[in-house]
């Protein structure tokens, strides 16, 4: 299963590193390898979040995620998207932005870096909404119960996550977005208006894409419930038992989402991936300012994240280790805050990556401890049932 899931990633890694060696020599090969590792370390929590969503989709859309989705992730977000950002923020034509990216690496790096406040605000708000909607939702299984249960009660207030996100955006717009240092340290600039507009854009994108996907998902589940009820009624009239797979309301989750529901869920996945890729693209300029080295290195890393997502789904890892999603969402919350902070201040990619790794590792270990405790309780219960009462 490991080779079947990661086979394409291994093959593309070998081809990509070989291409880097041919085009740029040993130095280029090393840069591409480092960029790949950087992308994987920064996006491991992305794989966990994606797996939680991908397992809702049917087999067809899971294949789309691994094919079309990979093309979007590698070429769209790591190659085309930064050029579009440069063209929009610097008010250049797309062709001029491409020319600068290919011929003038230093200017391209400067333009992308100066566009960072808008990118960070958009991605930060989108990721913050994911975290807030998770933490304010009431759920049976909690990891940090002392924190999650009170917040779940507060989450019963309508639109609380939107209010909190808007407050965070206003704070960012009036603090870190003012006096933003220009690339190279030559003066500062007020980016408050840019940050506010981009942040609102990220919030609207989340509400639209997430809302539409949730709407179709809920409608599909309602249709499955109605089909199940009809099947039970028909079976009762014939005095025969209803089919076991019907009437549970879970068929949509067993079969997997399809049609419009799956399409918008797929779009939601791609926007999440885009939000996660922002810090990787910006951080890559600390290693290289060659657009093709960056795209190749981050693209290889993105392949592994996609493969890891599918691996987690097929292995049922999120069902076995129930706190992993909690840890990943806390990592998302931390990344959202870090993105907003980086509007003005430099934050090392090492710190960003370590925060995610530590939270994921802690949630994994907590899941292991929980599983052991449940296993021990089950063994004790079995022992009590097999004991013979004295005096018999």
What are 145-167's pLDDT values in tens digits?
999 999 999 988 888 999 999 99
Residue 250, pLDDT score: 38
Nearest to 60 by CA among 265, 319, 303: 265
Long-range pairs, 206-215, Cβ under 8 A, ≥24: 206/125, 206/126, 206/129, 206/130, 206/271, 207/129, 207/162, 209/264, 209/267, 209/268, 209/271, 210/129, 210/133, 210/268, 212/264, 213/261, 213/264, 213/265, 213/267, 213/268
User: Taking a C-beta distance cutoff of 8 angstroms, is the pair 56, 253 a contact?
Assistant: yes
Structure tokens at 389: 């009462």
Would you give the end-to-end CA distance of the chain in angstroms? 53
DSSP annotation string for 257-313: B-HHHHHHHHHHHHHHHHHHHHHHHHHHTTT---HHHHHHHHHHHHHHHHHHHHHHH
- Flag whether 386 is in a domain: no
Measured distance CA(307)–CA(74) in Å, rounded: 13
Residues of the chain with pLDDT under 50: 238-254, 391-392
- Flag whether 392 is in a domain: no
Full residue range of the structural domain in which residue 35 is found:
2-376
- Flag whether 390 is in a domain: no
Residue 41, pLDDT score: 76
- Flag whether 315 is in a domain: yes
Buried b (16+ CB within 10 A) or exposed e, 12-32: bbeebbeebeeebeeebbebb
Residue 132, pLDDT score: 94
User: Taking a C-beta distance cutoff of 8 angstroms, is the pair 249, 232 a contact?
Assistant: no
Strand pairing of 180-181 and 188-189?
antiparallel
* Structural domains in the chain (count): 1
Structure tokens at 160: 């609380």
- Look at the chain and count its residues: 392
Residue 266, pLDDT score: 86
- Flag whether 12 is in a domain: yes
DSSP annotation string for 21-34: HHHHHHHHHHHHHH
- Flag whether 61 is in a domain: yes
- Flag whether 157 is in a domain: yes
- Flag whether 273 is in a domain: yes
């Amino acid at each position: 299963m490991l080779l079947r899931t990661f086979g394409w990633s291994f093959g593309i890694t070998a081809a990509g590193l070989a291409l880097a060696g041919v085009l740029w020599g040993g130095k280029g090969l090393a840069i591409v390898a480092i960029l790949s590792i950087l992308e994987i370390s920064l996006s491991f929590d992305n794989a966990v979040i994606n797996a939680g969503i991908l397992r809702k989709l049917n087999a067809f859309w899971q294949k789309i995620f691994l094919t079309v989705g990979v093309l979007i992730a590698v070429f769209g977000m790591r190659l085309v998207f930064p050029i579009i950002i440069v063209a929009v923020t610097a008010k250049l034509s797309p062709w001029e932005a491409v020319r600068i990216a290919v011929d003038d690496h230093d200017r391209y790096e400067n333009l992308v870096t100066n566009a960072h406040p808008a990118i960070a605000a958009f991605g930060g708000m989108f990721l913050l909404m994911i975290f807030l909607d998770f933490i304010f939702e009431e759920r049976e299984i909690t990891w940090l119960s002392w924190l999650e249960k009170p917040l779940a009660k507060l989450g019963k207030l309508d639109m609380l996550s939107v209010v909190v996100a808007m407050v965070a955006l206003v704070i960012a717009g009036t603090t870190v977005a003012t006096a933003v240092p220009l690339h190279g340290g030559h003066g500062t600039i007020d980016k408050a208006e840019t940050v506010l507009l981009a942040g609102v854009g990220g919030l609207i994108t989340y509400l639209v894409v997430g809302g539409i996907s949730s709407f179709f998902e809920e409608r599909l589940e309602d249709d499955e419930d109605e089909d199940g009820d009809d099947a039970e009624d028909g079976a009762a009239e014939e005095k025969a038992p209803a089919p076991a797979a019907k009437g549970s309301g879970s068929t949509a989750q067993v079969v997997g989402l399809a049609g419009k529901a799956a399409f918008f869920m797929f779009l939601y996945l791609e926007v999440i991936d885009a939000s996660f890729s922002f810090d990787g693209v910006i951080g890559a300029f600390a290693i290289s300012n060659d657009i093709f080295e960056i795209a190749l290195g981050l693209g290889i890393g993105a392949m592994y994240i996609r493969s890891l997502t599918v691996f987690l789904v097929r292995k049922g890892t999120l069902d076995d280790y129930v706190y992993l999603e909690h840890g990943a969402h806390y990592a998302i919350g931390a990344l959202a805050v870090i993105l907003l902070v980086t509007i003005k201040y430099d934050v090392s990619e090492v710190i960003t990556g370590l925060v995610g790794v530590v939270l994921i590792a802690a949630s994994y270990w907590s899941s292991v401890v929980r599983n052991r405790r449940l296993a021990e309780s089950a063994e004790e219960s079995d022992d009590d049932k097999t004991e013979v009462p004295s005096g018999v």
